[in-house]
A = this chain, B = another copy of it.
């Protein structure tokens, strides 16, 4: 079990953030962590939409979010707690995260209106 990698906020790169959030599943996971008081166990997220995401894929998604600097993960006993780093990222790249999350929210609303 290698130690978890958390880049310092000044090492966080925009392309890593965009790449991480370019996947709707990861964006949904990040939104969930950010909204749910910044704490969430991995498996509390495993049923996003109707798609079942296998554990290994989920673990990889968390790793991408972590190494992009979007979340911070720490073990608490047997489970992992994930905190959103949105405040830090927002300070470094003002408006970025909110614009991205609004874009997803907006697009979701539109497509639901066209059955």
A binding-site residues for B, Cβ under 8 Å: 10, 13-15, 17-19, 21-24, 27, 92-96, 98-100, 102-104, 106-107, 110
- In the complex, which residues of chain B have a beta carbon less than 8 angstroms from the beta carbon of A17? 103
Given A19-B22, A22-B19, A22-B22: A14 touches B100 (CB 8 Å cut-off): yes
Stoichiometry, copies per complex: 2
Given A92-B106, A95-B95: A100 touches B10 (CB 8 Å cut-off): no
- In the complex, which residues of chain B have a beta carbon less than 8 angstroms from the beta carbon of A102? 93-96
CA A103 to CA B104, docked complex, whole Å: 19
For the complex with contacts A17-B103, A94-B99, A96-B102, 15 further pairs of A-B residues with Cβ separation under 8 Å are A13-B107, A14-B27, A14-B104, A15-B22, A15-B24, A18-B22, A18-B100, A19-B19, A93-B102, A93-B103, A94-B102, A95-B95, A95-B99, A96-B100, A99-B99
Which chain B residue shows the least CB distance to A106? B93
